[in-house]
Amino acid sequence: MIELTAEEKVRFRRQIMIFGEEGQRKLKEASAFVTRVGGLGGPVAVYLALAGIGKLVVAHGGVVEPSNLNRQLLMSYEAIGRPRINCIVERLKALNPFMELVAYGDDIAMDEALTKEVVSQVDISIACPPTFEERFNLNKASVELGKPLVEVAMYGMEGYITFIKPGQTPCLACLFPSPPKWSIPFPVLGSVSAMMGCIAATEVVKFITGIGSTLDGYMLYIDTKSWEMKKTKVKRKPDCPVCGKIGKDVGQ
Ligand SMILES: [Zn+2]
């Protein structure tokens, strides 16, 4: 196993108090794929970088627009008109210059084959795109490759998150047999998308270090207007076209 440097032992001291040097070494050896890296995925990438993950793969297309700036904390006013991926790379490298960072300047989860290629190269993926097309491609790739996937989403003042372990838990296609009615743009408050991103990053760190229990087979729903929170058991669909033929069912 990779050893921690003296500097890393200092830099990560406060979290080593939680999961020990062994947990920190696991983070250093781990890799994750975050797409996209906006209001939701930005905080995921930030907190995985800060936590000391060894390799991060990020994907985000387009240029910075004024309407991004209520929520996308990796972007800046000065960067309007520049490729978003440049901002993402600069900020993440500033936070953790030692992390291996692989960056795609396109919304690559739109491409089914490329999604599968990237998912195959990491330990875990985190689905943060605004479209269900990308989410379904990430889900299919993760299930086919047997890789874990954190499925996190938000709308307005509400957030949703579940942890998908192919063959054990429901996949996205079990929960949504067909894409729900969805339109872009949808309402986003930056603090709410960031909150959900932070929860997703926490799930990834828990999974990698082995502390606590992740939301396997559960959907956590948070309504920030009323602070109603529900942790609901979700079930696999035996006839799911994506995961129906694999693994055993612990969700029923
Ligand atoms: Zn399924």
What CATH number is given to the structural domain containing 59? 3.40.50.720
- Output the average pLDDT for the chain: 96
Instruction: Determine the distance separating the centroid of ligand 1 and the alpha carbon of 128, expressed in angstroms.
Output: 19
241 found inside a domain: no
Please report the pLDDT score of residue 140 as a whole number. Answer: 98
| Kind and range of the H or E run holding 44 | helix 41-51
CA distance 163 to 175: 12
In the predicted model, is pLDDT for residue 9 greater than 70?
yes
240 found inside a domain: no
1 found inside a domain: no
The mean per-residue pLDDT over the stretch 63-67 comes to: 97
Instruction: Determine the distance separating the centroid of ligand 1 and the alpha carbon of 167, expressed in angstroms.
Output: 8
243 found inside a domain: no
Q: What is the tens place of the pLDDT at every residue in 35-49?
A: 999 999 999 999 999
Joined together, the tokens standing for residue 143 give 């299930």
Write out the residue range of the structural domain in which residue 190 sits: 6-233
Give the β-pairing of 228-233 and 218-223.
antiparallel
The mean per-residue pLDDT over the stretch 3-26 comes to: 98
Please report the pLDDT score of residue 1 as a whole number. Answer: 77
Instruction: Determine the distance separating the centroid of ligand 1 and the alpha carbon of 62, expressed in angstroms.
Output: 31
242 found inside a domain: no
165 found inside a domain: yes
Instruction: Determine the distance separating the centroid of ligand 1 and the alpha carbon of 168, expressed in angstroms.
Output: 10
**Residue 98 CB-half CA count within 13 A:** 14
In the predicted model, is pLDDT for residue 151 greater than 50?
yes
| C-beta of residue 204 within 8 angstroms of C-beta of residue 126 | yes
Please report the pLDDT score of residue 251 as a whole number. Answer: 46
The mean per-residue pLDDT over the stretch 59-65 comes to: 98
Residues in CB range of 143: below 8 A, 6 or more apart: 164, 166, 167, 171, 242, 243, 246
Please report the pLDDT score of residue 249 as a whole number. Answer: 52
Instruction: Determine the distance separating the centroid of ligand 1 and the alpha carbon of 199, expressed in angstroms.
Output: 23
Q: How many independent structural domains does the chain possess?
A: 1
Instruction: Determine the distance separating the centroid of ligand 1 and the alpha carbon of 243, expressed in angstroms.
Output: 4
246 found inside a domain: no
Instruction: Determine the distance separating the centroid of ligand 1 and the alpha carbon of 97, expressed in angstroms.
Output: 38
CA distance 25 to 34: 21
Instruction: Determine the distance separating the centroid of ligand 1 and the alpha carbon of 175, expressed in angstroms.
Output: 7
The mean per-residue pLDDT over the stretch 191-214 comes to: 98
53 found inside a domain: yes
Please report the pLDDT score of residue 252 as a whole number. Answer: 43
Instruction: Determine the distance separating the centroid of ligand 1 and the alpha carbon of 47, expressed in angstroms.
Output: 29
Instruction: Determine the distance separating the centroid of ligand 1 and the alpha carbon of 53, expressed in angstroms.
Output: 29
Residue type, 13: R
Q: What is the tens place of the pLDDT at every residue in 166-199?
A: 999 999 999 998 888 888 899 999 999 999 999 9
Instruction: Determine the distance separating the centroid of ligand 1 and the alpha carbon of 34, expressed in angstroms.
Output: 21
Nearest to 48 by CA among 1, 87, 6, 99: 99
Instruction: Determine the distance separating the centroid of ligand 1 and the alpha carbon of 197, expressed in angstroms.
Output: 23
Nearest to 208 by CA among 11, 16, 70, 28: 28
Q: What is the tens place of the pLDDT at every residue in 109-133?
A: 999 999 999 999 999 999 999 999 9
Q: What is the tens place of the pLDDT at every residue in 97-112?
A: 999 999 999 999 999 9
The reply to whether the predicted model has a pTM over 0.85 is yes
Instruction: Determine the distance separating the centroid of ligand 1 and the alpha carbon of 5, expressed in angstroms.
Output: 42
Instruction: Determine the distance separating the centroid of ligand 1 and the alpha carbon of 140, expressed in angstroms.
Output: 9
